[in-house]
Structure 1
Protein backbone atom coordinates (compact mmCIF):
# COMPACT_ATOMS: atom_id res chain seq x y z
CA UNK A 1 0.00 0.00 0.00
CA UNK A 2 1.44 3.39 -1.00
CA UNK A 3 2.15 6.08 1.56
CA UNK A 4 -0.03 9.07 0.73
CA UNK A 5 0.69 11.09 3.87
CA UNK A 6 3.17 13.33 2.10
CA UNK A 7 5.73 12.59 4.81
CA UNK A 8 9.15 11.43 3.68
CA UNK A 9 9.82 7.77 4.47
CA UNK A 10 11.76 7.14 7.68
CA UNK A 11 11.37 10.78 8.73
CA UNK A 12 10.26 9.65 12.16
CA UNK A 13 10.37 6.16 13.62
CA UNK A 14 7.39 5.96 15.97
CA UNK A 15 6.38 3.12 18.23
CA UNK A 16 5.48 2.63 21.84
CA UNK A 17 6.95 0.18 24.32
CA UNK A 18 5.63 -0.30 27.84
CA UNK A 19 3.90 3.06 27.76
CA UNK A 20 6.91 5.06 26.61
CA UNK A 21 7.37 6.92 23.37
CA UNK A 22 10.10 5.52 21.18
CA UNK A 23 10.21 8.19 18.51
CA UNK A 24 13.50 8.77 16.76
CA UNK A 25 13.41 11.96 14.77
CA UNK A 26 15.85 12.96 12.04
CA UNK A 27 18.04 14.93 14.44
CA UNK A 28 18.36 12.00 16.85
CA UNK A 29 19.15 9.64 13.98
CA UNK A 30 21.86 12.01 12.80
CA UNK A 31 23.27 12.36 16.33
CA UNK A 32 23.37 8.59 16.84
CA UNK A 33 24.97 7.85 13.47
CA UNK A 34 27.66 10.49 14.01
CA UNK A 35 28.36 9.20 17.52
CA UNK A 36 28.59 5.59 16.39
CA UNK A 37 30.86 6.44 13.49
CA UNK A 38 33.17 8.63 15.57
CA UNK A 39 33.41 6.17 18.48
CA UNK A 40 33.41 2.85 16.65
CA UNK A 41 33.89 3.48 12.93
CA UNK A 42 30.49 1.89 12.35
CA UNK A 43 28.65 3.72 9.54
CA UNK A 44 24.87 3.40 9.45
CA UNK A 45 23.35 4.46 6.12
CA UNK A 46 19.95 6.21 6.16
CA UNK A 47 18.44 3.11 4.56
CA UNK A 48 19.42 1.15 7.70
CA UNK A 49 17.54 3.48 10.06
CA UNK A 50 15.11 0.80 11.26
CA UNK A 51 18.07 -1.52 11.98
CA UNK A 52 19.71 1.16 14.14
CA UNK A 53 16.47 2.00 15.93
CA UNK A 54 15.81 -1.68 16.65
CA UNK A 55 19.30 -2.25 18.05
CA UNK A 56 19.20 0.84 20.23
CA UNK A 57 15.70 -0.02 21.48
CA UNK A 58 16.92 -3.47 22.50
CA UNK A 59 19.75 -1.99 24.57
CA UNK A 60 17.42 0.66 26.02
CA UNK A 61 14.98 -2.01 27.18
CA UNK A 62 17.78 -4.04 28.77
CA UNK A 63 19.17 -1.00 30.59
CA UNK A 64 15.85 0.55 31.60
CA UNK A 65 16.00 3.65 29.41
CA UNK A 66 12.84 5.00 27.82
CA UNK A 67 14.33 7.97 26.00
CA UNK A 68 16.92 8.01 23.22
CA UNK A 69 18.51 11.22 24.51
CA UNK A 70 18.91 9.90 28.06
CA UNK A 71 20.52 6.70 26.79
CA UNK A 72 22.72 8.69 24.38
CA UNK A 73 23.84 11.00 27.20
CA UNK A 74 24.47 8.08 29.55
CA UNK A 75 26.81 6.46 27.03
CA UNK A 76 29.04 9.50 27.42
CA UNK A 77 29.85 9.09 31.12
CA UNK A 78 31.64 6.78 33.51
CA UNK A 79 32.19 3.05 33.64
CA UNK A 80 28.80 2.37 32.05
CA UNK A 81 30.17 3.79 28.83
CA UNK A 82 32.88 1.15 28.40
CA UNK A 83 30.71 -1.91 28.95
CA UNK A 84 27.59 -0.53 27.29
CA UNK A 85 29.46 0.55 24.15
CA UNK A 86 30.64 -3.01 23.74
CA UNK A 87 27.13 -4.39 24.22
CA UNK A 88 25.56 -1.86 21.86
CA UNK A 89 28.10 -2.55 19.12
CA UNK A 90 27.54 -6.30 19.56
CA UNK A 91 23.80 -5.67 19.15
CA UNK A 92 24.36 -3.69 15.95
CA UNK A 93 26.85 -6.03 14.30
Structure 2
Protein backbone atom coordinates (compact mmCIF):
# COMPACT_ATOMS: atom_id res chain seq x y z
CA UNK A 1 0.00 0.00 0.00
CA UNK A 2 2.91 2.35 0.65
CA UNK A 3 4.04 1.97 -2.95
CA UNK A 4 0.52 2.72 -4.22
CA UNK A 5 0.34 5.79 -1.98
CA UNK A 6 3.64 7.06 -3.39
CA UNK A 7 2.44 6.46 -6.95
CA UNK A 8 -0.78 8.35 -6.24
CA UNK A 9 1.10 11.33 -4.85
CA UNK A 10 3.56 11.28 -7.76
CA UNK A 11 0.66 11.18 -10.22
CA UNK A 12 -0.94 14.18 -8.50
CA UNK A 13 2.35 16.07 -8.50
CA UNK A 14 2.92 15.30 -12.19
CA UNK A 15 -0.59 16.21 -13.33
CA UNK A 16 -1.65 19.12 -11.16
CA UNK A 17 -0.49 22.67 -11.57
CA UNK A 18 2.37 23.40 -9.18
CA UNK A 19 0.31 25.81 -7.08
CA UNK A 20 -2.53 23.31 -6.82
CA UNK A 21 -0.23 20.52 -5.62
CA UNK A 22 1.38 22.91 -3.14
CA UNK A 23 -2.09 23.61 -1.70
CA UNK A 24 -2.26 19.98 -0.53
CA UNK A 25 -1.06 20.02 3.06
CA UNK A 26 -1.74 16.52 4.40
CA UNK A 27 -1.35 12.94 3.31
CA UNK A 28 -3.74 10.68 5.21
CA UNK A 29 -1.87 7.58 6.33
CA UNK A 30 -3.11 4.20 7.50
CA UNK A 31 -1.32 2.26 10.23
CA UNK A 32 -3.76 -0.65 10.24
CA UNK A 33 -6.22 0.70 12.80
CA UNK A 34 -9.92 1.33 12.17
CA UNK A 35 -12.95 2.27 14.25
CA UNK A 36 -15.84 0.29 15.65
CA UNK A 37 -18.18 3.19 16.42
CA UNK A 38 -20.95 0.97 17.76
CA UNK A 39 -18.67 -0.41 20.48
CA UNK A 40 -16.61 2.80 20.77
CA UNK A 41 -13.21 1.18 20.25
CA UNK A 42 -10.37 0.92 17.79
CA UNK A 43 -10.03 -2.21 15.70
CA UNK A 44 -7.35 -3.73 13.51
CA UNK A 45 -3.69 -4.29 14.10
CA UNK A 46 -1.28 -1.37 14.42
CA UNK A 47 1.89 -1.59 12.32
CA UNK A 48 4.74 0.70 13.35
CA UNK A 49 6.65 -0.22 10.18
CA UNK A 50 3.72 0.67 7.95
CA UNK A 51 3.22 3.99 9.74
CA UNK A 52 6.91 4.91 9.41
CA UNK A 53 6.86 4.06 5.70
CA UNK A 54 3.68 6.06 5.07
CA UNK A 55 5.13 9.02 7.00
CA UNK A 56 8.27 8.85 4.86
CA UNK A 57 6.21 8.95 1.66
CA UNK A 58 4.33 12.04 2.88
CA UNK A 59 7.50 13.81 3.92
CA UNK A 60 9.20 13.00 0.59
CA UNK A 61 6.42 14.96 -1.12
CA UNK A 62 6.56 17.85 1.36
CA UNK A 63 3.30 16.84 3.05
CA UNK A 64 2.39 16.46 6.69
CA UNK A 65 1.23 12.99 7.66
CA UNK A 66 -2.18 12.67 9.27
CA UNK A 67 -3.77 9.53 10.67
CA UNK A 68 -7.50 9.13 11.08
CA UNK A 69 -9.17 6.94 13.69
CA UNK A 70 -7.45 8.33 16.77
CA UNK A 71 -10.68 8.53 18.74
CA UNK A 72 -10.16 5.68 21.16
CA UNK A 73 -6.38 5.42 21.34
CA UNK A 74 -4.63 5.68 24.69
CA UNK A 75 -2.22 8.52 25.43
CA UNK A 76 0.62 6.04 25.03
CA UNK A 77 -0.64 4.86 21.63
CA UNK A 78 -0.93 8.45 20.42
CA UNK A 79 2.55 9.28 21.72
CA UNK A 80 3.98 6.20 19.98
CA UNK A 81 2.63 7.43 16.66
CA UNK A 82 4.21 10.85 17.10
CA UNK A 83 7.48 9.19 18.14
CA UNK A 84 7.36 7.29 14.83
CA UNK A 85 7.12 10.55 12.85
CA UNK A 86 3.37 11.15 12.57
CA UNK A 87 2.63 14.87 12.28
CA UNK A 88 -1.09 15.02 13.11
CA UNK A 89 -3.90 12.74 14.22
CA UNK A 90 -7.63 13.08 13.63
CA UNK A 91 -10.01 12.71 16.55
CA UNK A 92 -13.56 13.07 15.29
CA UNK A 93 -16.59 14.16 17.33
CA UNK A 94 -18.12 10.68 17.35
CA UNK A 95 -19.12 10.87 21.00
Length-normalised TM-score, structure 2 = 0.25
More strand by share: 2
User: Going by fraction, where is helix more abundant, 1 or 2?
Assistant: 1
Question: TM-score, with normalisation over the residues of structure 1?
Answer: 0.25
Whose Rg is larger? 2
